[in-house]
Every structure is written in C-alpha cells, then in structure tokens.
C-alpha cells in the first residue's frame, strides 16, 4: 500500500470520518486543547503512518460542538471566518448582502448561525451560498440552513450536486447519516455572481472530486483591494484513477497561472480547512497587527508554494495510478 503524501493525510480525514462507524461518545477524552494546527497535523500524520482509522476520541472531537467551538474572526474588512475548528465557512459582506461559502455540517450549524450573529450578519442578509463540493463536511449543513436563509440561493456545479446527493444517500445506513437539500442553482466554469460591487468568479477545479469548484472574490483591507480565492478541495483522498489525477494537476496549473497573472492576480487563499496551513493561528493574531502592516493573509508566495507542493504530491500519485493500470 503506497504511503500517503502530506496533503492526502490532511484532507483524507474528511472522508475517513464519513466512513468510520461509531457514535459520538461524550465521555471520550478530547485529543486537543483548543484548536492547535500543528498538533492536528501531527495527529493526521500518525494516523497515516500506522494505517488505522481515528479513535473514538477523534470521532467525538469532530462531532462535539464544545470541542469544535471557534470564535469568528475578521480576515479582511469585508470577510469573516464563521466556521468551526476543523472546517471553514466564510462570510463575505457587500453593500447588497452577504455571500456565504460552505455550510459546515451537523451538529455545527447552530454554531455557524451564532458566529454569523456575532459578526453582525442577519440570516436574511445572505443572498448566495456558494458550495465547494459534495463532501459532507462542506455541504452537510445546507439542508438545515436552507429554511433559515429564505433570501439565499444555494449554488454548486452540477457534478457537485450529484456528488452530494450520492454521498448523502450512501450515509443513510451509517451512524453519520446526513441529508442534502434538493438541487437549487447550478453554476459552471466562467460564471460570475455579482453582488454589491463584488464579483464572485466560478472556477471548476476538478481533482479533489470531479465536481469541485473554487471561488474568487475581492477582499478589502483599508484602502487596498486584493483578489482572493477559496480553493474547493486540495486533497487526493477520493482519487479513483489517473484521469482524475491529471485533472487535479491541470487545476493546480490553472490556479498557479492565475496567481502569476499581471491583472488581478490571486494573492489571498482563504482555505476550506484552516489548520491545514496554520491559518487559524494567523487569524487570531490579526487584531494585534500594527497600523500600516501588510495583512499576513496576503501571501502570493505562500500560495504558489502550496500549489507547487500539491503538484509534486499529485505527480507521485499519478505514477502510482498508472502503474496500477487505473
């Protein structure tokens, strides 16, 4: 069995949690104090090296609202992090309403709603919910959220919708059963959603799953504006064959080109899992930033380095898939 790369170890946990059976045990010891990125990454590496699924404590940690509690934080003047410890949700404010990226999953939707309220966002202000792909940790909260945000349209690629429906159906016989809302709006590569002076670009970036989408938008910091992206999926945990890996590499190359382009280059990556690149700790340090100091989330070099590392992992995986005849 091939040794998993770091990116596979990090992101495969989402799928592992879905497949591992076992109900939440409130008496199980919590594996972490708070939400330390380095410790979480180290634990993922341990799981990968011994080839065992997460313990009961881990399964409890992922599903325990108290353990997953995270204070919302302000990333930019118009962007707030409203997710929990292990999975992100982003709220982008405009003069005409709010765009929410991803929905978390149960039992954390109540925390998402509370976090939105803490940063001054009314649920009626949400106009669009942009979903990255069909894995439960990113869209599992959509069904509960839908009746509470009656002014919002839920958007995802057609393949993403199909993935979500299939995944929810497959969960019906497991202790981690979840439901998906009926299909709403389908978006495709090149679409632009405009709201209140901001433009949200849709990029189909297959690889993590065939239906994965990434979204670009403007973030504001004082008098400066930067083009940001939330990359829909960075892991190789759901790979089925070499063709999918080739698509993943093509997506990475496309994003790298957009980060280097002279006009509106991508300079900010607001990731779907904050612990994967230490963004959680960066976010909580932002209030201590000195006047005139560059927002540390503006990091084009770091984004390119991340893409290069992921590409290297993907090339290794491509060789494995080809040798296996897949």
The model's pLDDT over 56-75, given as tens digits with 9 standing for 90+, comes to: 677 778 889 999 999 999 99
* Domains of the chain: residue spans and CATH: 72-323 (3.60.15.10)
User: What angle, 0 to 180 degrees and rounded to 10, lies between the N-to-C axes of helices 300-323 and 6-19?
Assistant: 70
Q: What is the mean pLDDT of the segment spanning 303-316? A: 91
Pair 238, 15: CB distance under 8 Å:
yes
User: How confident is the model at residue 29, as a pLDDT?
Assistant: 55
Position 49 pLDDT exceeds 60: no
The winner for highest mean pLDDT among 4-13, 49-58, 72-81 is 72-81
pLDDT score of 85 = 93
Chain centroid to CA 216: 13
Q: What pLDDT is attached to residue 257? A: 97
Kindly tell me if the per-residue pLDDT of 256 is higher than 70. Answer: yes
Beta pairing partners, 92: 79, 99
Tell me how many helices (H) and strands (E) the chain has: 11, 12
| Whole-structure pTM value | 0.88
Q: Could you tell me the pLDDT band of residue 304, with boundaries at 50, 70 and 90?
A: very high
List pLDDT tens digits, range 210-222. 999 999 999 999 9
3-state SS assignment for residue 135: coil
pLDDT of 45 higher than 90: no
């Amino acid at each position: 069995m091939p040794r998993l790369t770091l990116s596979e170890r990090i992101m495969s946990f989402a799928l592992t949690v879905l497949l591992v059976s076992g109900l939440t045990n409130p008496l199980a010891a919590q594996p972490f104090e708070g939400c330390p990125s380095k410790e979480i990454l180290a634990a993922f590496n341990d799981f990968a090296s011994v080839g065992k699924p997460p313990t009961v404590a881990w399964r409890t940690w992922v599903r325990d609202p108290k353990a997953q509690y995270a204070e919302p934080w302000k990333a930019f003047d118009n962007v707030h992090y409203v997710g929990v410890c292990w999975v992100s949700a982003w709220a982008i404010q405009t003069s005409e309403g709010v765009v929410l990226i991803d929905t978390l999953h149960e039992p954390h939707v109540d925390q998402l709603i509370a976090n939105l309220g803490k940063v001054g966002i009314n649920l009626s202000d949400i106009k669009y919910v942009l979903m990255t792909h069909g894995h439960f940790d990113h869209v599992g909260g959509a069904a509960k959220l839908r009746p509470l945000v009656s002014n919002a349209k839920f958007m995802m690629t057609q393949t993403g919708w199909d993935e979500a429906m299939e995944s929810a159906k497959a969960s019906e016989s497991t202790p981690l059963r979840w439901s998906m809302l009926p299909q709403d709006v389908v978006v495709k590569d090149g679409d632009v959603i405009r709201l209140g002076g901001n433009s949200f670009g849709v990029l189909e970036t297959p690889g993590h799953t065939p239906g994965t989408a990434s979204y670009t938008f403007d973030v504001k910091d004082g008098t400066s504006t930067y083009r940001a992206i939330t990359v829909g999926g960075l892991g190789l945990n759901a790979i089925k064959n070499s063709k999918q890996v080739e698509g993943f590499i093509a997506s990475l190359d496309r994003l790298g080109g957009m980060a280097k382009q002279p006009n509106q280059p991508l300079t900010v990556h607001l990731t779907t899992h904050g612990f994967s690149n230490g963004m959680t700790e960066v976010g909580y340090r932002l209030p201590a930033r000195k006047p005139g100091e560059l927002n540390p989330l503006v990091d084009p070099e770091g984004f390119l380095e991340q893409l290069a590392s992921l590409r290297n992992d993907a090339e290794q995986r491509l060789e494995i898939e080809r040798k296996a005849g897949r």
